[in-house]
Structure 1
Amino acid sequence: MFKSNKIKIFFKYLILSIIPINFITGVNAEIKVVTTIQPLHSLISNVMGNKGKLDLILEGTASPHSFTLKPSHAKMLENADVIFWIDKDLESFLEKPLKSIPKKAKVVHLMDISGLEIHKFREKNIYAGHDDHDKHDHKEDKHDDHGKHSHKEDKHDDHDKHGHAHGEFDVHIWLDPNNAKVIVKEVANQLATLDSKNSDFYKENSKKTINKLDNLINKINKSINKKASFVTFHDAYQYFEKRFGVEALGALTINTDIQPGAKQIEEIQHLVEDKNIKCIFSEPQFNPKLINMIAKSSGAKTGVLDPHGSSYKPGNDLYFNLINDLYENLNKC
């Protein structure tokens, strides 16, 4: 009996020694996910829960418009199983690295996923008097599969033809919570495919997160100040505006890569005075000096809108705090 047990133990260890180490670790390895900006990180975190490892590239007030990857970020990308990003027109720093990473990571380009409502960038920094026309065009586009694929096919060609430094399409898709719901579904589907043993977990978390987003949408729809009178530092908020029926009248700049010139500043000053605009909003990522100067000369209130939620700790609540902050700030105007 004793000899028989020794033989069994011997063969057990012999078999284990033959099985490749990478097979053992592969079976138990946790999924590694990388994303770029805090709002995406928050949505993905809600879906992942305590499964796997989620890394974030841009933290705090780091701006995707001027960011440079560090070696530690390159290592994240190399080790990733899946990478979620928006688009090269937002995270331009990621375009080349994604082409050169010597790894099998699945790269999910969120601007291309089905079901999003996509808007073109506004072409001028003064919107007053033009917004109704824009709304009509977007609604017409929306019925054509939300204007997504019909525009997307010529997106890069148009970018080259017209020389738009920021591209033709507005990349701030997450500021519409309806789009956030689409992103959450996509994340859950991708994770369920790559990590099938936790598929049900991801899909259940997706349903819970979408329910929270629906509650947030309903709350804002019921009580947002649709007469809010405001201008912003840059044209980043039309997804929120169109979802909830509020209208910014202008922005100091439509492209953060180009500093506003004297003409733009003067136009905004006149707009604020002529329309008796109540609020001018800066952003944490950019110097508020010009905003404060315009507000001082006009008597308008200043505030801060933060499209990235940079003042919050990354995590499940960040996205909801970000959208709620936009709502509360606009209600003061």
Structure 2
Amino acid sequence: MSRVYSIACLLLTSLLCSAAARADVQVLTSIKPLQLIAAAVQDGVGKPDVLLPPGASPHHYALRPSDIRRVRDAQLMYWVGPELENFLPRVMAQREQPSVAIQSLTGLQLQHFDEEHADDAHGAHADEHDHDHQPGSLDVHLWLNPVNAQVIAARMAADFSAADPDNAARYQANLAAFDERLKALNARLKARVATVKGKPYFVFHEAYNYFEHAYGLEHAGVFSVLGEVQPGAKHVDAMRERLQEAGPACVFSEPPFVPRLAKTLTAGLPVNLAVLDPMGAELTADASGYETLMDNLASELTQCLGDLPATN
């Protein structure tokens, strides 16, 4: 009996140790891109959760009671900051467990909207541009630069290791692997977008400055439209004039819908309509999710721009 009892104790000890090794940190991120980065660091240990559902705008989201409970109860919470998720500060102030506003991390390469850029981007309708992108304000789409993704991942790995020391080695190994993949991603995307540099494109949301800065691109203009409100005829004429001046070009909208204005603007012009998704709304949160987000942006850009005539 004593031998059987000893074996049983050993098995129980082994099971308990195994369970401890599999313990993971309960992580909640505000938006999908942060979830994708967290998933790379937690790979093989746990799965981070995300607050906003697919297609929801981080600029204008209304929290439900269940969302408030999730924010309150998460062991670790990551959000970009009040400049992006302006619906979160009051709820975040009620949290008792750790939270990280990503925009405050040391080492990020941050960009701000400036007066000259805003005037150039919005042209004749600068007075109607999106209030979320006022000149001088922080450009909050900071995850679209791989350098920033690396900084975010490093902070997450440190936090996860402190909260779950039994798996610290795995988090650090995942971080090292993510860093190596980012180097390969950077080289791959630079080579891909080099083939379409200089070809004109317009966007409906000024969300791509970090990506453009990293890879040497620049949009020709922003058709800033508040929701689905149809602008006046003078406004539409001014935007169409900009498209006519550009010649063959691409116009990119974002999911989940194409603005009704897009077809009005481009009718009869040598313009290709396409979609860019800076949020990766439908992506699976796995170890390679962030790279897929960036790869998809590069593919969508180069596919549309690549179909345009070569520039002189």
Q: Distance in 2 between matches of 1:267 and 1:192?
A: 54
Residue matched to 1:105: 97
Q: Does 1:296 align with 2:290?
A: no
Residue matched to 2:291: 320
Q: Does 1:195 align with 2:164?
A: yes
Q: Distance in 2 between matches of 1:206 and 1:249?
A: 36
Residue matched to 1:208: 177
Q: Deviations over 1:9-47 (max 9, x none)?
A: xxxxxxxxxxxxxxxx99996421110111110110010
Residue matched to 1:309: 280
User: What is the TM-score when the length of structure 1 is the normalising length?
Assistant: 0.75
Q: CA deviation at 1:277?
A: 4.4
Q: Distance in 2 between matches of 1:58 and 1:222?
A: 33
Residue matched to 2:111: 119
Q: Distance in 1 between matches of 2:32 and 2:262?
A: 25
Residue matched to 1:219: 188
| Equivalent pair of 2:230/2:261 in contact (CA under 8 Å) | no
Over 3 Å counting, the alpha-carbon distance change for 1:277 and 1:119 in structure 2 is: farther
Choose from 82, 89, 95 the match for 1:95: 89
Over 3 Å counting, the alpha-carbon distance change for 1:220 and 1:28 in structure 2 is: closer
Choose from 190, 200, 204 the match for 1:233: 204
| Equivalent pair of 2:189/2:215 in contact (CA under 8 Å) | yes
Q: Distance in 1 between matches of 2:299 and 2:119?
A: 24
Over 3 Å counting, the alpha-carbon distance change for 1:317 and 1:53 in structure 2 is: closer
Counterpart of 1:252 in structure 2: which amino acid? F
Residue matched to 1:65: 59
Counterpart of 2:81 in structure 1: which amino acid? D
Q: CA deviation at 1:259?
A: 5.6
Q: CA deviation at 1:105?
A: 1.4
Counterpart of 2:254 in structure 1: which amino acid? E
Residue matched to 2:308: none
Q: Deviations over 1:37-96 (max 9, x none)?
A: 111101100101132452111132111122122222222222212111101121112111
Q: Deviations over 1:97-145 (max 9, x none)?
A: 00123xx31111100101111111244263399xxxxxxxxxxxxxxxx
Counterpart of 2:154 in structure 1: which amino acid? K
User: What is the TM-score when the length of structure 2 is the normalising length?
Assistant: 0.79
Secondary structure of 1:93's aligned partner: coil
| Equivalent pair of 1:228/1:247 in contact (CA under 8 Å) | no
Secondary structure of 1:40's aligned partner: helix
How many residues are paired up?
A: 277
| Equivalent pair of 2:39/2:285 in contact (CA under 8 Å) | no
Q: Distance in 2 between matches of 1:219 and 1:311?
A: 23
Secondary structure of 2:121's aligned partner: coil
Over 3 Å counting, the alpha-carbon distance change for 1:202 and 1:111 in structure 2 is: same
Counterpart of 1:109 in structure 2: which amino acid? A
Q: Deviations over 1:230-258 (max 9, x none)?
A: 000111001000110011011111x8579
Choose from 76, 80, 83 the match for 1:82: 76
Cα RMSD of the aligned pairs, angstroms, is 2.9
Gaps of 5+ in 2: 3-18, 124-129, 306-312
Counterpart of 1:35 in structure 2: which amino acid? T
Counterpart of 1:60 in structure 2: which amino acid? P
Residue matched to 1:8: none
| Equivalent pair of 1:32/1:79 in contact (CA under 8 Å) | no
Residue matched to 2:126: none
Q: CA deviation at 1:316?
A: 3.1
Over 3 Å counting, the alpha-carbon distance change for 1:267 and 1:71 in structure 2 is: same
